[in-house]
Amino acid sequence: MPPALSPENALFLDVDGTLIGLAATPDSVIVPPNLHDLLRALKTRQGGALAILSGRPLADIDRLCGAGLPLAAEHGAVLRGPAGQITSPVTRPKALTAIAGTLRAHIANLAGVLLEDKKFGLALHWRGAPERAAELTALLQELAAPHPELTLQKAHEALEIRAAGPDKGKALEFFMRESPFAGRKPVFVGDDVTDEPAIEAANRLGGLGMHVARDFDGGPSSVRAWLAGAIR
């Protein structure tokens, strides 16, 4: 089990695969009944220095984690600071609109494949059709290639084409420049390749970046138990 969380740490948490278990679709995840209360209590314990870093849209994070928490949505393309201000370091690439139409037409008759249309990206999920992984990856690579303002982001049985630039590491660094995060040692927990930049940033800033599979036994339930232990 990881070391105990100090009240002096700045705490950063991923959502899917970290706080809640993965599911067949983004909308079918099951939120533990005490999660909102747990996160509110942790925010108080950490003196406000708690933020959610997720690839999900802002509205999804509020629904899953409770409204009003500091957060980085869509891999850091949307930031809600400690005072509630919402900013973005990028604009929506115009190419995404045309690409969305192409993707919808391509997957219209593909069972088990889902297109998630976000403000700054498009995510294809194929957990229900894993045999489509190579085909859909090749398609997204082809669509992204002519557009340097776009990047491809791997995830669990999904691939996202999104605005280049933001990532969770840069989002963590943003918060670490803001009160009440500034001057603390960051602790981050994530589970996916999308979380590696934040893991690296937390370590580089003198804190601790942790990966669910590497540092916790039992997945999200173990993460929640570790967090709950901090407020007992």
Q: 139 CB contacts (<8 Å, ≥6 apart)? A: 103, 106
**Phi/psi zone of residue 48: left (φ > 0), alpha (ψ -120 to 50 degrees), beta?**
left
Q: Are 73 and 174 in contact (CB under 8 A)?
A: no
Kind and range of the H or E run holding 125: strand 121-125
Select from 177, 221, 192, 202 the least CA-distant residue to 75: 192
- The CB density around residue 47, as the number of other CB atoms within 10 Å, is 15
Q: Are 10 and 232 in contact (CB under 8 A)?
A: no
37 belongs to the catalytic site? no
Kind and range of the H or E run holding 134: helix 133-144
Active-site position among 14, 60, 191, 192:
14
**Phi/psi zone of residue 170: left (φ > 0), alpha (ψ -120 to 50 degrees), beta?**
alpha
Residues identified as active-site: 14
